Amino acid sequence: MSQNLLALRKSPAGAVPVLMAVLSLAGLVAPTCARAQSADPKLQSVLAAMDKASAGFRSAEANFEWDQYQKVVNDTDIQKGKVYYRRQGSDIQMAADITEPDKKSVLYSEGKISIYQPKIEQVTQYDATKNRAALESFLVLGFGGTSHELMNSYDVKYAGAEAIAGIQAEKLELVPKSPAVRNNVERIVLWIDPARGISVQQQFFQPGGDYRLTKYSDLQLNQKISDSAFKLKTNAKTKMVSPQG
């Protein structure tokens, strides 16, 4: 659901942390050759499960809770809603409907990120087509991405098992290979359901001690998702703005 997904804070306009961070990341991730990872059999087993899920991945939807902790004020901001992912051919789409505390919708489709704020009747749209590949690889982190894509951008290690909402999840710790990315996110922890090869929880750690914890529940995989889930519910009064001009 990433996302400036790396500033991991709400902007003054209330932009969703997870997608706004992806905007930053997309411009920072540089293609690298995958380094040899640990021969840890546990790690290899989790990566194999993720590859199996990726091969058959079509869609996913889940309820989510985004917990954004800011160390300087020792406070946690919580947002709740529903997130949708869909792969159609080579196209990746993602939509998030935030219901608490304020209604907001985020849509990624065809290389563009749109943030709709019903309270002010405004859609803010960012054109990320120049960094589309990097952006989409980040969006599908734990949701249909391959182990090759993962190891291209991160040093990955197995970090043990932990029960998450009744699922015995396998933890992976990711450290970005790019120094520029590490300026925003020091490390990422994914909790992977080994039976389905997808993420049930994610945590992004920032250099200042801030972090964002995303919890997923009622996760449905490869079910038919209505096209309406990937459309913003705007009206005739809604205005469109584009910070990138």
**What pLDDT, on a 0 to 100 scale, did the predictor assign at position 223?**
92
**What pLDDT, on a 0 to 100 scale, did the predictor assign at position 202?**
92
Q: Which residues constitute the domain of residue 195?
A: 19-241
Sheet (strand 122-127) strand order: 154-164, 167-176, 187-193, 198-205, 211-221, 59-70, 75-88, 91-100, 104-109, 112-117, 122-127, 239-241
**What pLDDT, on a 0 to 100 scale, did the predictor assign at position 35?**
40
Task: Please give the Cα distance from 134 to 124 (Å, whole number).
Answer: 21
pTM: 0.80
Is there a domain that residue 137 lies in? yes
**What pLDDT, on a 0 to 100 scale, did the predictor assign at position 127?**
85
Question: How many structural domains are present in the chain?
Answer: 1
Is there a domain that residue 9 lies in? no
**What pLDDT, on a 0 to 100 scale, did the predictor assign at position 34?**
40
Is there a domain that residue 10 lies in? no
Is there a domain that residue 6 lies in? no
**What pLDDT, on a 0 to 100 scale, did the predictor assign at position 176?**
87
Is there a domain that residue 220 lies in? yes
Write out residues in the chain with pLDDT < 50, as ranges. 1-36, 245
**What pLDDT, on a 0 to 100 scale, did the predictor assign at position 188?**
92
**How does DSSP assign 25-57, residue by residue?**
HHTT----PPPP----HHHHHHHHHHHHHHHH-
Is there a domain that residue 123 lies in? yes
Is there a domain that residue 11 lies in? no
**What pLDDT, on a 0 to 100 scale, did the predictor assign at position 27?**
37
Is there a domain that residue 185 lies in? yes
For the domain that residue 110 is a member of, what is the CATH number? 2.50.20.10
**What pLDDT, on a 0 to 100 scale, did the predictor assign at position 149?**
81
Cβ-proximal residues to 166 (8 Å cutoff; 6+ apart), any chain? none
